């Protein structure tokens, strides 16, 4: 994760970005808050007037008018506070929901090199947990922390108007409290940030462990997993404990500072009253204002912890947004229609975190439109990496990859937009990713523009109408992440999904698991129909699939060991491919 220093400018930019679309609401909220604060500050003046009026023996009518005005202002202040609370929550949740959506989209745009080093559970905690903390903070900041800080400032100003000596003394005490709070906050924010980080790690490991429940149980790894879980929980407890110990100092400030303020009010009140500088109403006003800020101080204290945790979350959010894709968006060209040609021009690749080991070394070949390439090699030979480079999950370390059309025109892969590139290349992997949704949504990937007639025509074209008829609710059958489909049926669905997308290049990473003959035959027919009029690269695990290929490439340690026409290689007794045919593909590379 990016560890650059996050400053106030980053915070301000983030706030402006997500509050600007609600500028009208923000302005109205500011008016409501300032109006409410003003009313709270005015009402004590009415109490002072009431006391002084009673002391001077004025009429009951004047006292009644003052009391009615006091009650009216108090009711109006409550109405403004209610409206401000509603509007503030609306602003906060709208802004943070937009931030959550943008952050999720940002993560989806980051390349595989980023996702290799960050577990899904960790990213879920960052996208949802951190922003949820920020959402709570924003709403509390606007309604409670912000309002009460302004109220304290207003009270300090009015105390100066009552008497400059009282105002100066109490202001000095509150400035001292603010200074102490700021000093403590410098040490608390990193501690809360450490808590947020360990929580992300915990969610990442939980996601990993829950996904691997079957392997953990069958291999007897439960004791190890639980020990790891206890270690993570212990780390989270220790980091939280460290932050809470320091937070005790913050909790003591709302007791310590008002106590000193009351002492100062008693001392100055006695001196000023005896010297006839202040009336009884004036003395009451001092104590009323000191008491008025006591409750806001408690609220501020309770929000300081949210402030510290939100600052830690803000640091992590800004740092995540600072992560940039390793692969650029492209130069705006669109991938041509029809079957695509593929050209690797002396391509080499190694991962950025392991520059000593080249995954691919000097790969050079051209696959013409409509041809099928069978890709063979042992595990770790570079087959999967080669196909990922076509999707631009990574860019080559050296060399150029090009796509061409039927007219022999080739274009550098970097010139195409990523969206165009991934629309024109389809892939079916060994593990099919299915969603908790209907068959229809799994086929269209939630694209409402694809109608049922188009879906049914595609399934009929692939020979899958019998498969669809056997589903309990047809296209409306709900899939529970594939648990109610066999491996073969999931592959059929993935093939239909690619067929609907109508790509010009299809990449098939065949599943090595054995299927029942009926399902296998259905899959073979679907693949035959899918490949008509399309270029294909097949990572082969079976001799039957190899027979479908026009060309064969055998990789070893990231290099091309053999490449050529399948029939020519098959009839050459000295070729590696002929040896595979004699010994059996599964035996050699299975």
Residues 548-572: pLDDT tens digits? Answer: 899 999 999 899 999 999 999 999 9
C-alpha–C-alpha distance, residues 106 and 118, integer Å: 14
Q: What is the pLDDT of residues 127-141, one digit of tens each?
A: 777 777 776 566 556
What is the reported pLDDT for 128? 77
| DSSP SS3 for 362 | strand
What integer is the mean pLDDT of 328-337?
81
CA distance 376 to 155: 79
pLDDT band at 374 (very low <50, low <70, confident <90, very high): very high
The arithmetic mean of pLDDT across residues 151-164, rounded, is 81
Mean local confidence (pLDDT), 313-327: 76
Other Cβ atoms less than 10 A from the Cβ of 28: the count is: 15
Residues, the chain: 590
| Average of per-residue pLDDT across 320-326 | 76
pLDDT at position 494, please? Answer: 87
CATH 3.20.20.410 fits 8-322, yes or no: no
- pLDDT, one tens digit per residue, over 393-443 is 888 999 999 999 888 899 999 999 888 888 899 998 877 888 888 899 989
Tell me the β-bridge partners of 52.
none
Instruction: Annotate 1-16 with three-state secondary structure.
Output: CCCCCCCHHHHHHHHH
Percent of residues, the chain, with pLDDT higher than 90? 15
pLDDT averaged over the chain? Answer: 81
Q: Is the four-CA dihedral 300, 304, 307, 311 of positive or negative sign?
A: positive
Q: How confident is the model at residue 506 (pLDDT cuts 50, 70, 90)?
A: very high
Residue with the larger pLDDT of the pair 315 and 301: 315
Q: Please give the average per-residue pLDDT across 87-113, as a whole number.
A: 83
- Reduced to 3 states (helix: H, G, I; strand: E, B; else coil), residue 291 is helix
| H or E segment and range at residue 460 | helix 452-461
CB 339 within 8 A of CB 535: yes
**All structural domains of the chain with their residue ranges:** 8-322, 370-381+426-589
Give residue-wise pLDDT tens across range 213-263. 767 776 677 788 888 888 889 998 998 888 888 877 777 777 787 788 888
Q: Rounded to an integer, what distance in angstroms lies between the CA atom of residue 536 and that of residue 533?
A: 10
Segment 374-390 mean pLDDT: 88
Whole-structure pTM value? 0.64
- Per-residue model confidence (pLDDT) at position 590: 45
Per-residue confidence (pLDDT) for residue 355, from 0 to 100: 60
What is the pLDDT at residue 309? 63
Pick the CATH number of 370-381+426-589 from 3.40.190.10, 3.40.1390.10, 3.40.50.300, 3.20.20.10: 3.40.50.300
Is residue 177 pLDDT above 60, yes or no?
yes
pLDDT at residue 342 is higher than 60: yes
Query: What pLDDT score does 2 carry?
Result: 46
Output the pLDDT for position 411. Answer: 93
Instruction: Identify the residue with better confidence: 174 or 483.
Output: 174
485-499: average pLDDT: 83
For residue 234 the two structure tokens come to 């212990």
Provide, for the chain, the percentages of residues in helix, strand and coil under a 3-state DSSP scheme, each rounded to the nearest 5. Answer: 65, 10, 25
User: With 70 as the cut, is the pLDDT of residue 544 above it?
Assistant: no
> What string of DSSP letters covers 44-64?
HHHHHHHHHHHHTT--HHHHH
pLDDT per residue over 238-250, tens digit each? 988 888 888 777 7
The more confidently predicted of residues 518 and 460 is: 460
pLDDT value of residue 145: 67
d(CA 264, CA 418) in angstroms, rounded, equals: 68
Helix (H, G, I), strand (E, B) or coil at 375: strand
pLDDT score for 566: 93
Residues 6 or more apart whose Cβ sits within 8 Å of residue 255: none
Which range has the top average pLDDT, 2-6, 136-140, 579-583?
Answer: 579-583
d(CA 190, CA 22): 31
pLDDT at 198: 86
Tens digit of each residue's pLDDT (9 = 90 or more) over 269-286: 888 878 878 777 777 778
pLDDT tens readout for residues 46-76: 777 777 777 676 677 877 888 888 888 889 9
The residue among 492 and 298 whose pLDDT is bigger is 492
């Amino acid at each position: 994760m990016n560890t650059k220093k996050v400053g106030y400018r980053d915070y301000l930019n983030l706030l402006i970005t997500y509050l600007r679309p609600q500028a009208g609401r923000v302005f109205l909220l500011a008016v409501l808050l300032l109006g409410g604060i003003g009313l709270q500050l005015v009402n004590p003046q009415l109490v002072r007037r009431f006391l002084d009026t009673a002391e001077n023996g004025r009429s009951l009518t004047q006292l009644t008018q003052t009391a009615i005005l006091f009650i009216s202002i108090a009711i109006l202040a409550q109405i403004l506070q209610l409206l401000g609370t509603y509007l503030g929550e609306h602003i906060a949740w709208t802004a943070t929901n937009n931030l959550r959506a943008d952050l999720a989209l940002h993560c989806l745009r980051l390349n595989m090199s980023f996702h290799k080093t960050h577990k899904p559970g960790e990213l879920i905690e960052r996208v949802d947990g951190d922003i949820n903390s920020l959402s709570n903070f924003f709403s509390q900041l606007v309604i409670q922390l912000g309002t009460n800080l302004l109220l304290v400032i207003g009270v300090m100003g009015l105390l100066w108007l009552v008497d400059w000596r009282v105002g100066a003394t109490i202001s000095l005490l509150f400035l001292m409290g603010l200074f102490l709070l700021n000093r403590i906050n410098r040490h608390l924010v990193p501690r809360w940030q450490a808590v947020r980080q360990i929580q992300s790690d915990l969610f990442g490991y939980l996601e990993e462990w829950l996904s691997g429940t079957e392997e953990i149980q069958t291999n007897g790894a439960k004791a190890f997993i639980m020990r790891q879980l206890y270690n993570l929980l212990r780390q989270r407890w220790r980091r939280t404990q460290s932050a809470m110990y320091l937070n005790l100092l913050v909790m003591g400030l709302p007791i310590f500072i008002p106590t000193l303020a009351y002492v100062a009010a008693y001392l100055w009140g006695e001196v000023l009253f005896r010297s006839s500088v202040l009336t009884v109403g004036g003395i009451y006003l001092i104590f009323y204002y000191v008491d008025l800020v006591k409750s806001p101080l408690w609220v501020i204290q309770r929000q300081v912890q949210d402030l510290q945790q939100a600052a830690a979350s803000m640091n992590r959010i800004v740092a995540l947004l600072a992560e940039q894709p390793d692969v650029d968006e492209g130069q705006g060209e669109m991938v041509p229609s029809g079957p695509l040609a593929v050209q690797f021009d002396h391509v080499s690749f190694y991962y950025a975190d392991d520059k000593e080991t080249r995954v691919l070394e000097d790969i050079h070949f051209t696959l013409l439109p409509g041809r099928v390439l069978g890709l063979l090699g042992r595990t770790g030979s570079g087959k999967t990496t080669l196909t990922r480079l076509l999707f631009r999950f990574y860019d080559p370390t050296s060399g150029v990859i090009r796509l061409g059309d039927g007219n022999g025109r080739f274009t550098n892969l970097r010139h195409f937009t990523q969206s165009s590139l991934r629309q024109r290349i389809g892939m079916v992997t060994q593990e099919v990713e299915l969603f908790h949704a209907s068959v229809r949504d799994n086929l269209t990937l939630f694209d409402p523009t694809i109608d049922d007639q188009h879906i049914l025509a595609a399934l009929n074209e692939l020979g899958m109408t019998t498969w669809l008829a056997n589903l309990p609710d047809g296209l409306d059958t709900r899939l529970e992440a594939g648990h109610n489909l066999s491996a073969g049926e999931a592959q059929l669905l993935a093939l239909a999904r690619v067929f609907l997308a109508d790509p010009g290049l299809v990449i098939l990473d065949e599943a090595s698991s054995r299927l029942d003959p009926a399902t296998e035959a259905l899959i073979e027919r679907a693949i035959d129909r899918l490949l008509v009029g399309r270029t294909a690269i097949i990572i082969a695990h079976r001799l039957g699939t190899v027979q479908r290929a026009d060309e064969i490439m055998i990789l070893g340690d990231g290099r091309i060991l053999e490449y050529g026409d399948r029939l020519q290689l098959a009839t050459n007794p000295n070729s590696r491919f002929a040896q595979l045919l004699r010994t059996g593909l599964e035996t050699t590379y299975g």
